[in-house]
Amino acid sequence: MRVCASPVAWSGSGDCRRCSQTPPAPASPSPARTASASRREARRRRLVPGCARLQERILAGALMVDQAQACELLGLSAANPSATMKRKEDKREILRFTADGRAAYPLFQFDVEGRRIHPAMARLIALKPRTWSDFRLLHWLTRPRLDFGAVLAERLGVEADAVIAAFEREIVPAEHG
């Protein structure tokens, strides 16, 4: 039986678009491995109840692009999108999340017309306190704000300085007394 080895040829239905063959069935994991994974998942849920669901809701509320799409938006080579985007992540220029086991980037970070990442993103990431997670920053950016009359993420390209100033006000520790 001949099987097409091209990873890009497989369609969502499971058939190869090039040679119309069905892919080989994946090997099923051993029962011990499956039980171990189930225990890990249950332990994770007990340790952080509701956290995963909240993160999933936050991610679902933001339009996301994958690594290849991000490279295309930036006008960069898509020959090795994971390495290209990893360099951006290492420079702390962009927020990256994992959705369905794949790297995902919120679309609002990209200046599509300028084929770049909004410069304000690097500044916001640099200002982010250690107590803030990337999810918290994403949630803050995607929440509607009365003082802006919009979601902050929508204002990154237009009012970057105002968004940064609002973030600086947000991260100031509360003083009681």
pLDDT digits (tens, 9 = 90+) for 43-60: 555 545 566 777 787 787
The Cβ of residue 74 has, within 10 Å, a number of other Cβ atoms equal to 20
Whole-model pTM over 0.75: no
- How far is it, in rounded angstroms, from Cα 15 to Cα 9? 8
pLDDT digits (tens, 9 = 90+) for 15-53: 555 555 555 555 555 555 566 666 666 555 554 556 677
155 secondary structure, DSSP code: G
With contact defined as beta carbons under 8 Å apart, do 141 and 98 qualify? no
Distance CA 112, CA 100 (A): 25
